[in-house]
Amino acid sequence: MHMSDALLSPAVGAAFWAGSLGAIGWSARKLREGLDERIIPLMGVLGAFIFASQMINFTIPGTGSSGHLGGGMVLAILLGPYAALIVMASVLTVQAFFFADGGLLALGSNIWNLGIYPCFIAYPLIYRPIAGSGISAKRIAVASVVSAVIGLQLGAFSVVLQTFLSGRSELPFFTFMAMMQPVHLAIGLAEGFVTAGVIRFLISARPEILESASSARPLSLDVSFRRVAAGFLLAAVFTGGVLSWVASSNPDGLEWSVQRVFGKPELPAQGDAAAAPVMKTLQEKTALLPDYSFKKSGNTETGKNEQAWPAPNTGRSASGVLGAAIVLSAVFLIGAIIRTMRRKSS
């Protein structure tokens, strides 16, 4: 359920990047304040551990399909939220770079969905109160399952929200939600059982790791329940601010979808109304062949201007198809030429 670049609009992608960056910066500062620097290599190796463990699959009972560990909850329980967020973000970053899971713009949203919810909501608000400070196996099991499920539900909901705000997909909000939430209920249960199993195994094998983890790490919740809440409020206000600011200059985002919620299905105006004049002057200034006037003839039908549904136009389509063929063959020809030239020279 990694979010994908292709489904995001720049405004939504940037807003969630801002939120995630803020959380990473904040966690980094928190960690440095109370830093026992032994935690740095531990974090690094644990990141690799999560990464490696995701490569082993297990069968989900009753379905026959297989799943793997998400890892957010395990990390939060073992390291505390701040370090866990940094580790989770680093794992997602490597995945974005090497496996192209999602993409670079979507990385901000993925850190938000898979890192921030388990570390800063599910862990402090659900896991800690249920599990308490002791190491009762039953409470830990219940706490792990409940918090993993809720964390993943939030993440899945967030994917729906991001997709919807970006407006690239036609899926109606509630249909998409009805698809995502149940699927992630199953995944969340599996994740919860695995988390509980891992923690229980560790308690029986090396109880001192968990004990030291819960005493030594910076956030034992008795201190900062309020601060976490305050931080979240701040983050929410900040993100909302960014979102609405971007949205006001670009109906692509929030405004457009809000209008859509209020039922104007014919509304195609997803171009950038405010940015349009700027784009236009830039366009005129940089025009290469003014004779052919590069009018975005192909683009008016994307709803760039006020025109609603354009009448389908045969002539324009034909020239579009022809132009596409020319551009593509030119691009690949350039590639082929460079390649053969390199081969010859080497």
Partner 1 sequence: MFDNEYFNLGYLDTLSYRDTVVHRLDPRAKLVATVFFILTVVSFPKYEITGLLPFFLFPVMLFSLGDIPYRFILKKVLVMSSFAFFIGVFNPLFDRQPLYIVYGMELSGGWVSFASIMLKFTLTVSSALLLVATTSFPGICHALQKIGMPQIFVSQLLFLYRYIFVLSEVTMKVARARDMRSFGKKGLGIKVFASIIGTLFLRTVEQAERIYQAMLSRGYHGTIYSIRPYRFRGPDAAFLAGALTACCLFRLHDITGALGNISMKVFQDLI
Cβ distance to partner 1 smaller for residue 229 or 261? 261
Tokens 């899945």, residue? 156
One of 116, 190, 247, 254 touching partner 1 (CB under 8 A): 190
Query: Helix, strand, or coil here: 59?
Result: strand
**Alpha-carbon distance 147 to 154, whole Å?**
10
Q: Is residue 271 within 8 Å of 304, Cβ to Cβ?
A: yes
Query: CB under 8 A: which stretch of 116-124, 130-138, 236-244, 305-313 binds partner 1?
Result: 305-313
**Least distance in Å: CB of 270 to partner 1?**
6
**Alpha-carbon distance 147 to 157, whole Å?**
15
**Least distance in Å: CB of 42 to partner 1?**
4
327 is an interface residue for partner 1 by CB under 8 A: yes
Closest CA to 314 of 306, 322, 326: 322
**Least distance in Å: CB of 55 to partner 1?**
5
Mention every residue, 6+ apart, whose C-beta is less than 8 A from residue 344.
Answer: none
Mention every residue, 6+ apart, whose C-beta is less than 8 A from residue 2.
Answer: 95, 101, 102, 106, 110, 114
**Least distance in Å: CB of 236 to partner 1?**
22
With CB under 8 A, what is the number of residues at the site for partner 1? 125
**Least distance in Å: CB of 123 to partner 1?**
18
Query: Helix, strand, or coil here: 196?
Result: helix
Q: Residues 306 to 325: which contact partner 1 by CB under 8 A?
A: 309-310, 312-314, 316-324
Q: How many residues does the chain have?
A: 346
Count how many Cα atoms sit within 13 Å of the Cα of residue 139 in the half-sphere of its side chain.
11
Cβ distance to partner 1 smaller for residue 26 or 225? 26
259 is an interface residue for partner 1 by CB under 8 A: no
**Least distance in Å: CB of 313 to partner 1?**
7
Tokens 């692509």, residue? 252
Which tokens is 90 given? 């680093």
Q: Residues 38 to 97: which contact partner 1 by CB under 8 A?
A: 38, 40-49, 51-53, 55-61, 66, 69, 86-87, 89-91, 93-94, 96-97
Q: Per-residue contact track with partner 1, 158 to 187, x per CB under 8 A?
A: -----x---xxxxxx---x-----------
Cβ distance to partner 1 smaller for residue 183 or 229? 183
One of 234, 237, 261, 287 touching partner 1 (CB under 8 A): 287
Q: Residues 99 to 128: which contact partner 1 by CB under 8 A?
A: 99-105
Cβ distance to partner 1 smaller for residue 125 or 316? 316
Q: What is the CA radius of gyration of the chain?
A: 25
Query: Helix, strand, or coil here: 67?
Result: strand
**Least distance in Å: CB of 73 to partner 1?**
13
**Alpha-carbon distance 165 to 254, whole Å?**
6
Mention every residue, 6+ apart, whose C-beta is less than 8 A from residue 245.
Answer: none
